[in-house]
């Protein structure tokens, strides 16, 4: 398959709603929650992942210490009750991800308020209690009404509060804007439309509501932290070509534009979001929405922003026959992304499915397609200034080499370092991620494996928070 790319987003979603991935059940002791999360990160790191997307607000509640919304019962067993013994899971999770040089994308569900419309175990402070007039029950769940300006401002304030107080790398929203249609049942926003519709068609008005929210959210988080990334993971079909000549050659029953009222292509064109991660959970040559049709379609609509691809690992968990019964389909998709869509990447839904899948998928990723490390592609429109190159020195010690370097970092920004080892006088080539032997935060590295590599030469580069890489340090030689 050739050399794997040095720049590639490799992520996994960690879903908390209904305890899909973490924690494994509500109300576990804090130490057990923490241990489960550490184990998840270690498994994902071994599979080459450089980012995690963690759901911290499933139903207008919080997996963090919030003065706006109550603690989630998926975390503690009871809505509004803090973890015991107390800790702030978001501080812990961000720290653990960063220790492993992984990005932490905080995943919010903007409008879902109750998973069951008939059961509201929330304290009086919950938004459904304080503003029942903002809610609409539909399809058995309860949602905040996206057509109410105060709702959009409220959700923006919740997310902005996290951006302000926590060291996250990105804000992430999934595919739930207006809910998926229930056949024969209209979404109950007629009064809101009568009040705010302003002469627009119902569909255009709904789309405008979501677009106004996205533009407002992006503006708010960028004012707080100009390099804060905003990513959206939409349903895999924007529009079918039968409805729009710009759409894809698909027959999706529901689409972003026509059913969820999410014009994600417009958001990319306007630069309101930094990456899209369409959920391409279908196999190659699927009759209605094939992976090999949708992958290049989305890549052609990135508008100088980043495009990553959500892959349906969960499809393998109970597959006994068909394309998902072996590792072949998922690996095929990963290879297609790599070969046809340069400088992109992938994300697995979801993290714990790796423990449920039969067959050798983990080995095929760890020792095959993701054998060598990858750096997250930089977002040059947010920050394109690389750090200064380190000054490197070496102390050869028998069959070992001790490297250390000085960082030239007057702004004191948090830096990581990439250590490259080249063998037998081969030229220094920073595109060779197969020559990366460490990505780390320390300014020292001991190479205990020199005897298998002939005459070794080393360089080190510095990475800033946005994955901009410095030029190579001076070259040093070992034994």
Q: Render pLDDT for 272-316 as a digit per residue (tens, 0 to 9).
A: 999 999 999 999 999 999 999 999 999 999 999 999 999 999 999
For position 82, what pLDDT does the model report? 97
pLDDT digits (tens, 9 = 90+) for 74-117: 999 999 999 999 999 999 999 999 999 999 999 999 999 999 99
pLDDT band at 455 (very low <50, low <70, confident <90, very high): confident
- Alpha-carbon dihedral 114, 119, 122, 128, rounded to 10 degrees: 50
pLDDT band at 47 (very low <50, low <70, confident <90, very high): very high
**Cα 429 from Cα 382, distance rounded (Å):** 26
Q: Return the minimum-mean-pLDDT range out of 195-204, 237-246, 388-397.
A: 388-397
Residue 293: closest CA among 333, 257, 266: 333
| Peptide linkage before 371 cis (omega within 30 of 0) | no
Region 144-169: mean pLDDT is 98
Q: Is 346 helix (H, G, I), strand (E, B) or coil?
A: strand
For position 1, what pLDDT does the model report? 41
Q: Is the pLDDT of residue 210 over 70?
A: yes
For position 282, what pLDDT does the model report? 98
**Cα 402 from Cα 392, distance rounded (Å):** 11
For position 71, what pLDDT does the model report? 98
Region 259-264: mean pLDDT is 98
Q: Is the pLDDT of residue 323 over 90?
A: yes
> Phi/psi zone of residue 312: left (φ > 0), alpha (ψ -120 to 50 degrees), beta?
beta
For position 454, what pLDDT does the model report? 73
**Cα 145 from Cα 151, distance rounded (Å):** 7
Q: Is the pLDDT of residue 364 over 60?
A: yes
Residue 310: closest CA among 267, 351, 342, 270: 351
Average confidence score pLDDT of the chain: 96
Cβ-count burial of 414 within 10 angstroms (0-12 exposed, 13-18 middle, 19+ buried)?
exposed
Beta strands in 236-334 (DSSP E): 275-276, 279-280, 306-307, 309-311
For position 479, what pLDDT does the model report? 67
What distances in angstroms separate CA 24 from CA 34, 35, 52, 129, 427, one per listed residue? 11, 11, 17, 28, 49
The enclosing H or E element of 267 equals helix 264-270
């Amino acid at each position: 398959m050739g050399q794997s790319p040095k720049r590639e987003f490799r992520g996994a979603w960690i879903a908390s709603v209904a305890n899909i991935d973490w924690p494994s059940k509500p109300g576990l002791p804090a130490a057990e929650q923490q241990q489960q999360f550490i184990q998840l990160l270690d498994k994902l790191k071994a599979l080459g992942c450089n980012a995690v997307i963690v759901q911290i607000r499933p139903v207008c509640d919080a997996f963090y210490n919030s003065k706006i919304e109550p603690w989630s019962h998926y975390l503690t067993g009871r809505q509004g009750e803090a973890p015991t013994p107390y800790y702030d899971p978001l501080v812990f999770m961000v720290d653990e991800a960063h220790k492993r040089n992984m990005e932490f994308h905080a995943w919010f569900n903007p409008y879902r308020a109750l998973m069951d419309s008939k059961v509201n175990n929330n304290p009086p402070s919950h938004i459904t209690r304080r503003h029942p007039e903002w809610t609409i029950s539909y399809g058995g769940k309860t949602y905040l009404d996206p057509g109410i300006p105060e709702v959009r401002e409220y959700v923006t304030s919740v997310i902005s509060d996290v951006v302000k107080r926590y060291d996250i790398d990105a804000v992430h929203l999934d595919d739930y804007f207006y809910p998926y249609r229930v056949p024969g049942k209209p979404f109950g926003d007629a009064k809101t439309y009568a009040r705010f519709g302003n002469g627009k068609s119902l569909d255009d008005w709904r789309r405008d509501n979501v677009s106004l929210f996205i533009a407002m959210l992006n503006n708010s988080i960028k004012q707080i932290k100009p390099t804060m990334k905003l990513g959206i993971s939409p349903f895999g079909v924007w529009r079918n070509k039968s409805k729009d000549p710009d759409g894809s050659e698909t027959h999706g029953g529901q689409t972003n534009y026509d059913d969820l009222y999410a014009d994600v292509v417009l958001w990319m064109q306007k630069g309101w979001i930094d990456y899209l991660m369409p959920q391409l959970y279908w196999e190659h040559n699927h009759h209605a929405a094939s992976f090999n049709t949708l992958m290049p379609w989305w890549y052609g609509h990135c508008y100088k922003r980043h495009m990553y691809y959500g892959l349906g690992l969960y499809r393998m968990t109970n597959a006994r026959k068909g394309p998902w019964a072996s590792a072949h389909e998922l690996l095929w998709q990963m290879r297609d992304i790599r070969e046809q869509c340069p400088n992109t990447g992938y994300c697995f839904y979801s993290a714990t499915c790796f423990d449920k899948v039969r067959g050798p998928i983990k080995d095929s990723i760890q020792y095959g397609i993701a054998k060598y490390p990858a750096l997250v592609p930089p977002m040059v429109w947010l920050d394109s200034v690389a750090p200064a190159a380190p000054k490197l020195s070496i102390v050869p010690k028998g069959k070992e080499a001790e490297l250390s370097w000085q960082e030239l970092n007057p702004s004191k920004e948090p830096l990581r370092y990439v250590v490259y080892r080249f063998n037998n006088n081969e030229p220094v080539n920073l595109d060779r991620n197969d020559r990366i032997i460490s990505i780390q935060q320390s300014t020292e590295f001991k190479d205990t494996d020199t005897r298998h590599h002939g005459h070794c030469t080393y360089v080190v580069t510095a990475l800033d928070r946005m994955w901009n890489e410095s030029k190579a340090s001076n070259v040093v030689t070992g034994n």
